[in-house]
Structure 1
Amino acid sequence: MASTVSRRWRPRSLPQLVLMAFLVVMLPIAVLMFQAGQALSELSELADVSARQAVDQTRRARTLTNLAVEMERSARQYAVLENPDLMKIYADKASAFRELLDAQARLLGEGDPRVSELKGTLSELERMPEMSVAQVSSHLGDFGPFSIQASGLLNSTRELVDARIEGIRARATQVKSQLWWQTAALVSISLMLMLFFTWLIIRPIRQLERRINGLGSGHDSERPVVIKGPAELVQLGERLNWLSMRLDELEEQKQQFLRHMSHELKTPLASIREGTGLLIDEVAGPLSPHQAEILGLLDDSSKELQKLIEQLLDYNLLQHNQGLERSRFDVHEVFKEVLAKHRLALEKKGMKVHLPPASLSWDADRPRTGRILDNLISNAIAYGEDGGDLWLRARKERRQLVIEVANSGEPIADKDRDHLFKPFYQGAVKRKGPLKGSGIGLSVAADSARAQFGQLVLIDDTRADVCFRLTLPTLARSLPSGEGREHDLPPGTHVANDDHPSLPPIHTT
């Protein structure tokens, strides 16, 4: 029920979530744009109205000034000419002045002292049409203050227009500040919404990434991870859960296979070891020295095979055990030990072994190094030329140990070079001998090299048809020891000391 309720608010797909995120993030920006438009429209309308009013009021104030001059002119002409028509014109001018003054008074306010003074003066001048010519002449001096008061009214109008302009500026500043605050607030909301929806999209992806990393590293949680997000990612999480269960099933099947196979191998091996032990004890009759030596090799090989089977039983433990057993050893002693294991195969193939004349001490993991050399030498014997050559070289190069195992025979095809170190891969060249290869030897050798922070590669060699180079970094200071020393190899192995321990310049493939 909780899962159903939690899914109701979520989009059903990733495109829907992205579209909804876009719309919600754009909503504050749309509000900001609307408010900015409203504020700009208000300022534009206010400026337009104020401009029209300013023009009208200024024009009216100037008209009042002109009418004051015209009234004075008509009065003076009447005093000279005594024409009643001139006084009639004067009365019309005074009436027009009164109408404009009342309109201007509504703008400036009745409390304005200039308006009050002008109205008082105008009231006295409006009685002139009722006066005689002599009385009109005596009041002509009143037009001087009247003109000055009309000009003052024009100044008051200009001051009022300037005050309105300042008000518009103040309002524009206020709107600007308000828009800045709104922009900061709404953009911050948009950013927070962007982060929120980014988290909604990224969270299931990170959950899937962690799950995939867990599957790849082998540390996957046994409890299924519930992905919360769009339907596509939820479905992908369910597929990963299914994949995790399938991997667990396959791992269990692998373990079961290894247990059964190890058990099946140990049964015939026990019979072989028991029979070999009876022969060594001469229960079936006396043995010649050569026969005793061969049986000794068989017994050692069966013991090694038993050790490998026991390691196979602890496969998981070995997979996670990446610790290095560091020790100082003589590389040439390792050469001799590995060659001793393959003495019978070397005798049968008639191969000539070439060793450098000087021994070399080094600090590394001797068991892993021996395992690498054992695989390389085994491959060289299995795929090498009958009666051919086997070169083993060791040298120190730039604080690194360089070991090369080369042999004569059929070169490795170019198409196989990129796949040599992959598990269970077998190239075009067929293995010679009674045993069929599994294709895992070089993979184990490469893994053993990487465990020591080294590298195993196939290189081109002008003197050999196949050459593998093992490079191991220094773990401690390594020094060469001994020069020109004889090596005690197994009887029957032909050794040729090379005059030049290192090859001419070669190129790594």
Structure 2
Amino acid sequence: MATRVARRWRPRSLLQLVLIAFVVVMLPLGVLMFQAGQALSELTRLADISARQAVEETRRARTLGVLALEMERSARQYAVLEQESLLEIYAARLEEYRQLLGRQQELLPEAPVMVELEALLERLSDLPGLELAAFKDRLEAFPALAEHTEALRQATNQRIDTRIDAIREGARGVQRQLWWQTGALVSASLVLMLLFSWLIIRPVRQLERRILGIGSGSRDAPPRPVQGPAELIQLDERLDWLASRLDELEAEKQRFLRHMSHELKTPLASVREGSALLGDGVAGKLTPQQQEILELIDGSGRELQRLIEQLLDYNLLQQNRRVKIERLDVATLLHEVLAKHRLALANKGMRVEGFNGPVVWPLDRAATEHILDNLVSNAIAYGEDGGVLEIRARQRRGRLELEVANSGEPIAEADRPRLFEAFYQGGTRRKGPLKGSGIGLSVAADCARLQQGELALVTDPRLAVCFRLTLPHTAPSRGDPTDTPAELADPQARS
């Protein structure tokens, strides 16, 4: 049930997943932009209101100062000229002053200067009804009115500054809040980005592991099904089909090689048996010319059998890529390989210069024997008649280096990059009636890689062709713990 629900909510396509990821990742950023816009609008509104109020209140405070001066001037002019129009002007200015003072009182309701101004206005309001002498005596209140009006203006400015400071502090608070919100929402966006990146990359990595498994041939465990968009699931199904198809082709190839080897070995065994019977004189004594032809047939049969065995070795190596490391004497293994090619070396007239040993090293017997056998066979097939075959062994920086070099024609530069490819035959041809199969060096290189080593063609200052086998000091799976490591060995002994 849970799996069914999970599959129901899984994005159906990669495009849908990308679009959902884009929308979800942009959502916190959109919220952040909205909140920042709201905060900016509020700060702008408060600043606009505060500016308008500050201008209005400052203008009103200045107007009060002007009215106080006009009241004092009209009163003093009346005291000198005694014109009724001057009293009318005084009364009008007094009424305006009282109204503006009432509006200013809303801004400073508890200011002490407001109480004193109201007391002064009460004294100055009955000024027009006084006798001239009392009128002149009451004029001494105007300096106090001007002084208190200036004090009111300063209190108004201080009130405006306090309000601006409050708005500024509020702006700092909004700024801090925006920074916190920015950090939180951007972190949420990053987490969502990582989440959706993982949701996209995880099936891609699974497909990559599938491809690497198919390419390396290591598909022992059943692959885990890919969970992701429909395109990647479909690609995983195509990889399943490709893996099964490759398994079928590999099985067909192995079956073909087995059947071909069997079909070739059966008539070859009859041919070699017949040539052996003729050589034994069962059908009568052979003439020297017939004996020469029989030797040619027998040699070609041995060569064909060797090629078939190489093909079987290549087939076996492709099927089984496991090695069994044990400590062996390389010199003993080399003498066993040279013993198999003793007649061929004698017919070639090649002089073998090897090392005495013992050279003990952890290696796989079968794989190393394949390598040495192929290198010696190549030296016999392509080397110079009556030439030199030199085999060296040395230890360098914890690695064993075996070199098989021979005199003769050097390998062409065009053939060197593809020298270890299977079934590749370069421009230099084998000496003899039969051509090679082109898999000997490929099998040797694979055997070297199985032991975490390397087989390479190197330059030798004295001989035309030199192959170097480098093997690491791998821990043996079994062996004698009293064996000593390999020592430097030079080609002083001759076989």
Using structure 2 for the length normalisation, give the TM-score: 0.79
How do 1:103-182 residues align onto structure 2 when only pairs under 5 Å count?
A: 103-109=103-109, 111-182=110-181
Structure 2 partner of 1:404: 404
Q: Which runs of 5+ in 1 are unaligned?
A: 488-509
Structure 2 partner of 1:424: 423
How far apart, in 1, do the equivalents of 2:489 and 2:466 lie?
25
How far apart, in 1, do the equivalents of 2:466 and 2:310 lie?
30
Structure 2 partner of 1:325: 326
Deviation at 1:452, TM superposition (A): 4.1
Deviation at 1:8, TM superposition (A): 6.9
How far apart, in 1, do the equivalents of 2:121 and 2:488 lie?
128
Structure 1 partner of 2:75: 75
How far apart, in 1, do the equivalents of 2:44 and 2:450 lie?
78
How far apart, in 1, do the equivalents of 2:382 and 2:448 lie?
22
Structure 1 partner of 2:201: 202
How far apart, in 1, do the equivalents of 2:494 and 2:76 lie?
150
Structure 2 partner of 1:190: 189
Using structure 1 for the length normalisation, give the TM-score: 0.77
With over 3 angstroms needed to count, the CA separation of the structure-2 counterparts of 1:313 and 1:279, relative to structure 1, is farther
Deviation at 1:202, TM superposition (A): 0.9
Deviation at 1:12, TM superposition (A): 3.1
Partner SS state of residue 247, structure 1:
helix
Does residue 253 of structure 1 match 2:239? no
**Equivalent AA in structure 2 for residue 321 of structure 1:** R
Over residues 40-77 of structure 1, what are the superposed CA-to-partner deviations in whole Å (9 max), with x where a residue is unaligned? 23223322321232122122112212322332332233
Does residue 394 of structure 1 match 2:395? no
Structure 2 partner of 1:359: 356
Given that 1:74 and 1:90 are in contact with CA atoms closer than 8 Å, whether structure 2 keeps it comes out as yes
Given that 1:225 and 1:241 are in contact with CA atoms closer than 8 Å, whether structure 2 keeps it comes out as no
Deviation at 1:362, TM superposition (A): 0.9
**Equivalent AA in structure 1 for residue 359 of structure 2:** W
With over 3 angstroms needed to count, the CA separation of the structure-2 counterparts of 1:114 and 1:318, relative to structure 1, is same
How do 1:427-438 residues align onto structure 2 when only pairs under 5 Å count?
A: 427-438=426-437
Over residues 307-335 of structure 1, what are the superposed CA-to-partner deviations in whole Å (9 max), with x where a residue is unaligned? 969986993797232222321242xx545
Given that 1:360 and 1:394 are in contact with CA atoms closer than 8 Å, whether structure 2 keeps it comes out as no
Structure 2 partner of 1:90: 90
Q: Which moved more, 1:313-322 or 1:18-27?
A: 313-322
Deviation at 1:164, TM superposition (A): 0.8
With over 3 angstroms needed to count, the CA separation of the structure-2 counterparts of 1:259 and 1:183, relative to structure 1, is same
Deviation at 1:422, TM superposition (A): 1.4
**Equivalent AA in structure 1 for residue 246 of structure 2:** L
Given that 2:367 and 2:447 are in contact with CA atoms closer than 8 Å, whether structure 1 keeps it comes out as yes
How far apart, in 2, do the equivalents of 1:459 and 1:380 lie?
15
Given that 1:28 and 1:187 are in contact with CA atoms closer than 8 Å, whether structure 2 keeps it comes out as yes
Equivalenced residue count is 468
Does residue 233 of structure 1 match 2:232? yes
How far apart, in 1, do the equivalents of 2:317 and 2:346 lie?
37
How far apart, in 2, do the equivalents of 1:394 and 1:224 lie?
46
Over residues 371-399 of structure 1, what are the superposed CA-to-partner deviations in whole Å (9 max), with x where a residue is unaligned? 222111212222334x3414223243646
Given that 2:32 and 2:185 are in contact with CA atoms closer than 8 Å, whether structure 1 keeps it comes out as yes
How far apart, in 2, do the equivalents of 1:459 and 1:451 lie?
21
Deviation at 1:5, TM superposition (A): 8.1
With over 3 angstroms needed to count, the CA separation of the structure-2 counterparts of 1:481 and 1:105, relative to structure 1, is closer
Deviation at 1:279, TM superposition (A): 11
How far apart, in 1, do the equivalents of 2:341 and 2:431 lie?
14
Does residue 415 of structure 1 match 2:414? yes
How far apart, in 1, do the equivalents of 2:489 and 2:107 lie?
115
With over 3 angstroms needed to count, the CA separation of the structure-2 counterparts of 1:325 and 1:203, relative to structure 1, is same
Structure 2 partner of 1:46: 46
How far apart, in 2, do the equivalents of 1:240 and 1:37 lie?
51
Structure 2 partner of 1:477: 485
How do 1:278-289 residues align onto structure 2 when only pairs under 5 Å count?
A: none
Q: Identity over aligned residues, as a percent?
A: 50
Q: Which runs of 5+ in 2 are unaligned?
A: 286-290, 475-483
Over residues 154-201 of structure 1, what are the superposed CA-to-partner deviations in whole Å (9 max), with x where a residue is unaligned? 233122212211211121112112111211121112112211221122
How far apart, in 1, do the equivalents of 2:486 and 2:366 lie?
18
**Equivalent AA in structure 1 for residue 322 of structure 2:** N
Structure 1 partner of 2:59: 59
Partner SS state of residue 325, structure 1:
strand
With over 3 angstroms needed to count, the CA separation of the structure-2 counterparts of 1:205 and 1:7, relative to structure 1, is farther
How far apart, in 1, do the equivalents of 2:260 and 2:422 lie?
19
Structure 1 partner of 2:380: 381
Partner SS state of residue 421, structure 2:
coil
Partner SS state of residue 378, structure 1:
helix
